[in-house]
Amino acid sequence: MRIPIHREGWRFIAIFVAANAVLFWLWFWAGIAFLVLTLWCVFFFRDPERTPPPGEDRLVSPADGVLLPTVDAVPPVELGLGEQPRKRLSIFMNVFDVHVNRMPVSGTVIALSYRPGKFINASFDKASEHNERMSARIRPAKSTDPDADLAVVQIAGLVARRIVCDIKEGDRVSRGARYGMIRFGSRLDVYLPPAAKIVIEDGSVTRAGETVLAELQG
Residues that are catalytic:
186
Phi-psi domain of 144 (left: phi exceeds 0; alpha: psi -120 through 50; beta: other): alpha
Number of other CB atoms surrounding residue 30 within 10 Å: 14
> Considering Cα of 131, then 135, then 98, then 29, what sign does the dihedral take?
negative
Length of the chain (residues):
218
CA distance 59 to 37: 35
CB neighbours of 203 closer than 8 A, spacing ≥ 6?
66, 67
Phi, then psi, of 12 in degrees rounded to 5: -70, -40
179: amino acid identity, one letter: Y
Quote the DSSP letter at residue 8. G
Number of other CB atoms surrounding residue 108 within 10 Å: 16
Quote the DSSP letter at residue 69. P
